[in-house]
Amino acid sequence: MTLLDKFLALFALAAFIGFLAILIGFVPRLDLIVVVTIGVLLAVYDFYLSLRGQHRDDSH
């Protein structure tokens, strides 16, 4: 993963989190906040694994 790839991935993650933060700001429902939080945590975890190079591809 090149430096540009890392930068673009980080930018995409920030845009994703920003979009969902705006959504939660306009629709402050507890169930939506829980689902968005889970989604953001999964995206951050996937980003972390991609940076470390441990992203597994189980497709055969």
In terms of Cβ atoms closer than 10 Å to its own Cβ (0-12, 13-18, 19+), residue 25 is exposed
Q: What's the pTM? A: 0.78
Residues for the chain: how many in total?
60
- Label residue 57 by pLDDT band (50, 70, 90): low
pLDDT at 54 over 90: no
Share of the chain above pLDDT 70, in %: 88
Domains in the chain: boundaries: 3-52
Euclidean distance between CA atoms 8 and 28, whole angstroms:
29
Mean pLDDT, the chain, integer: 89
